[in-house]
Amino acid sequence: MKGSCGVICGTVLAGMLAILAGTAAGGPPARATFDVTLRATVTKDWHTVTESTEGDCAVFRRSIGHRVVTLRSARPTPIVVTLGSGKVSFSPAAVRFVVVQATQSGENRTRRESPCRTGTERERCRPAKRRVNGGMFRFYRSARNEISFHSARLPTAGTSCPRESAAVRAVKPGLRDAEGEIAEADLAGARSQTAFASAELTTDLEGAETGRVVERISWSLTFNRR
């Protein structure tokens, strides 16, 4: 009898555990609403030289530029976070009401060599600023415990000084260039959590125009439970 009971009890217990496991796996996903805000800084620095010939003279045109774009949420975006089956989803997967401001400074230099009259001409650029209200930036779950942003055009300062060649303009830093880490397992029960990201990218130019373009990106996306 004892041996028979042990087999029966073991079978019943195994069945109960299987039922409980199935219930947990198929249970309703956890949902929570958060007020989400974005803070970010994106910078672009370039220092390039273009060489050309005017008559018998070699001419070197140097461009030195510094642009800073800041992004700040004017007010939070309500976002519903859903966690279930090991996945996280966001609705909407976008942060709105973002104020974007671009500032730019720099200078142009032109140097001529012999047999022309030698010397360097300098053109200092007046600082320029541009502000855009009501921006929206979309993000997505790019990997487990990771958030990334989709590509989005950032404004320039609206000035042509310093010079920005086609090769330099082609380098367009953005939030997409940095991935942020977030603890998904803790998000459902957290009062607040912030995803942080940063990156630095360097592009070396070669050919008729030489020099370097450096991009720096940092952003934080903060979730505060409502």
Rounded mean pLDDT, 156-181:
95
Q: In this structure, is residue 8 part of a structural domain?
A: no
Query: Could you write out the three-class secondary structure of 149-164?
Result: ECCCCCCCCCCCCCCC
**Taking the CB of residue 85, how many other CB atoms lie within 10 A of it?**
8
| Domains of the chain: total | 1
- Give the mean model confidence (pLDDT) for residues 134-156: 96
Q: Identify the domain containing residue 87 by its residue range.
A: 29-225
Q: Which residues of 190-214 are buried (b: 16+ CB within 10 A; e: fewer)?
A: beebebebeeeeeeebeeebebebb
Tokens of 36: 């989400």
Task: Output the CA angle 41-172-132, nearest 5 degrees.
Answer: 55
Predicted local distance difference test score (pLDDT) of residue 115: 79
In a domain, 12, yes or no: no
5: in domain: no
Which three-class secondary structure state does DSSP give residue 93?
Answer: coil
Instruction: Report the alpha-carbon distance of residue 164 to residue 179 in Å, rounded.
Output: 28
Contact 200, 218 (CB under 8 A): no
pLDDT score of 92: 97
pLDDT, position 105 = 97
What pLDDT digit, counting tens, does each position of 21-69 carry?
333 345 677 899 999 999 999 999 999 999 988 878 889 999 999 999 9
Q: Select from 42, 59, 37 the least CA-distant residue to 199.
A: 42
The answer to whether position 87 is within a domain reads: yes
Cβ atoms within 10 Å of 81's Cβ, excluding its own: 22
Tokens 């996903």 -> residue = 29
Provide the pLDDT for residue 54: 81
Residue 71 lies in a domain: yes
